[in-house]
Amino acid sequence: MPQNHELFSTLNQVKYLYLNQISEPRDNSVRIVVDEATDVPMNAGEKKSMVDLHPEIAKIARGARAIKSTNECRRFELLWDRYIAYLVTEEAAGSMGHYEDEISEGGLFSVFRKSHFLDHLSRDTGGHTKPILHFKITCLNHLIDVASYEPPEIRLLGNVSKDQRKQIKPN
């Protein structure tokens, strides 16, 4: 489990996460920034856009809600000083790790004791000096798997400002 237990718990209490940014600040380190998102009533323009794209869903759109980051939503940073591997998967192609033989704890930010990702790494990498830890961040737009020897440092970066908000838009 990550060292900052309080922020680990806070991150796992959010309803939705949206990947905002992923970068390697220096060799073999990875920084992931995720924004909290929530469901809010859709405004008239959003509903009209959905109906224009798919007229047959006009009745459904009446009670539709949008998933957005609002001013009240928080932004989290996860920083691994060193990683072994990471994998970013487009959310529609991902399985979200629901396999009977995998063992994990957490919610949108899970820590795995047994997983297919760990199995893959044990087969395809070597020379490890410590047990490998597997972390999965389940976002609305991506699934991110990170393997490392140590948990990430988790920081709360504040709230998502209006000009930095992301939302899911209809295709």
pLDDT tens by residue, 46-94? 666 766 767 677 677 677 778 888 889 999 999 999 999 999 999 888 7
pTM for the full predicted model: 0.82
Q: How confident is the model at residue 4 (pLDDT cuts 50, 70, 90)?
A: low
What type of residue sits at position 119?
Answer: D
Query: For residue 32, which of 45, 40, 41, 23 has the smallest C-alpha distance?
Result: 23
Q: Report how far residue 57's alpha carbon sits from residue 130's, in angstroms, rounded to the nearest whole number.
A: 53
What type of residue sits at position 120?
Answer: H
Whether 6 has a pLDDT exceeding 80, the answer reads: yes
